[in-house]
Structure 1
């Protein structure tokens, strides 16, 4: 197999424009948005879109992975702050709050969040991102447990269950209240 050649400058610009537009369209309308609509909004021909992304699944997976990368960064940043002395439970709560708000406003991240820890996360980039989030959350969870703030029987799977039930269709105040109620059940007594 020969190494992949870098894209020409115009092809790279087209790909970047397609990704940006697809991100906007999927964020706003969800993964059901048509390839034709994305191509038109990108200002490229449908054939150009298919040249970069042979099928819609490839495009949606690329957008979802790109949209979810900041979530993995946030999980690792939360873990880093906890390692520097910030209370781990505060960092965990902050991460979940930010993720819930992001999921409420971004259909691409919502799709990624719902794919976590399931067979749906098959795209290699999503597997890597999921591994980063799982590792950071696991370490953050263990730190909160060691600090006596989180139930000792709480697992990363429990956090994914919380994540999968985010009330993203609710108003911000209702989402905050929901998370406070749910976290009450996870706090060590």
Structure 2
């Protein structure tokens, strides 16, 4: 029997329900939520959860991997809109705002992953996709003079490391308003 055969449709649905429930349960109840509670919230048997994710670390790594893929998709969509006529600076600001908000919602997930020693999610291709799209988007903004010439992708990663994800939305909006003058040339 081949080990790399595609998952059955019900297995795909169950995996999706488990990942969604894990994100919701950990966000609402913190990193100590049990696998039993996650399985119950997903509407699957505990054995089904463990077939997909043998450990909580495996489950959190998969949730984080999905988050990184979503960020990469967003960066590529922002770049595509800039190529289609949107201003690059507006796309950079919008992307940054969306990442700040999604990071705030994923804050508990990241804390849980850190407490369990989840270093990464294995596959770095989504991180590379996000970085490449963001680099191109920054370059487009720099070409027209809307983004400071010294700004790099690493600067965005540095900024993201300082995002007040554990603070209320108004604090996150204030943080964004404070950092934008360091990125853009617009007043």
Query: 1:49 and 2:39 equivalent?
Result: no
Q: TM-score, structure 2 length as denominator?
A: 0.82
Aligned to 1:132: 129
Q: Which residue of the other structure, out of 151, 156, 159, is the alignment partner of 1:159?
A: 156
Q: How far apart, in 2, do the equivalents of 1:14 and 1:26 lie? A: 18
- Counterpart of 1:105 in structure 2 is 105
Deviations 1:61-102 (A, max 9, x none): 112222333322211111111112222111101110111112
**Structure 1, gaps ≥5 residues long:** none
TM-score relative to the length of structure 1: 0.81
**Contact 1:152/1:188 (<8 A) preserved:** no
Question: Does 2:19 align with 1:19?
Answer: yes
**Distance in 2, Cα, partners of 1:69 & 1:97:** 17
Is the alpha carbon distance of 1:75 and 1:40 closer, same or farther for their aligned partners in structure 2, counting shifts above 3 Å? same
Distance verdict in 2 for CA 1:16–1:145, change over 3 Å: closer
Describe the SS at the equivalent of 2:183. Answer: coil
Match of 1:75 in 2: 75
2:64 corresponding residue in structure 1: 64
Q: CA deviation at 1:30?
A: 4.5
Higher mean C-alpha deviation, range 45-54 or range 147-156: 45-54
